[in-house]
Amino acid sequence: MTRTTAQDALVSLLRLAGRIEQSLSDVCARHGITHDQYNVMRILRGAYPEGLPRFEISQRLINRAPDVTRLLDRLGRGGLIERVGSPEDRRLSLSRITESGLALLNRLDPEVLAVHEAVAMGLSDNEKQELGRLCGAMLR
């Protein structure tokens, strides 16, 4: 089988994604959490202080996690998030980030930014914008 331009591009993209994932996982591990836990906390920071239900968190995750409930439980046991009842629907549980969780994200932010900058340092601002546009187009 002859390789196509699409295959070459996507293999390169997958290799890059794997390298980024590993670098971010290493940063998170130094702070005692997984990359998936970091992503949940990042999502909840964006919804602070209201919080989000589990199904909405799982829809926003970068990588599909098979058991978001277990991720939330671990973060809750660590005091990084809390679960509260929804004021509108008593059957619904909302997860929201705690002050401890926000503090941890604030400590992680410079290291995560450094990974992002290191990966993209060979690109001009216009190339970074174009990469974002191309990736967005492929996600549709």
Per-residue model confidence as pLDDT tens digits over 84-133: 887 777 778 899 999 999 999 999 999 999 999 999 999 999 999 999 99
**Cβ neighbour number for residue 94 with a 10 Å cutoff:** 21
Where in the sequence is the domain holding 47, given as residue range(s)? Answer: 14-139
Q: Give a yes or no: residue 1 inside a domain.
A: no
Q: Give a yes or no: residue 6 inside a domain.
A: no
CATH number of the domain that residue 58 is part of? 1.10.10.10
Single pTM value for the model: 0.89
Rounded Cα–Cα distance for residues 61 and 51 (Å) = 15
pLDDT tens digit sequence for 60-82? 998 887 889 999 999 999 999 99
Place of tokens 């190339």: 127
Number of domains within the chain:
1
- Note the Cα 138 to chain centre separation in Å: 19
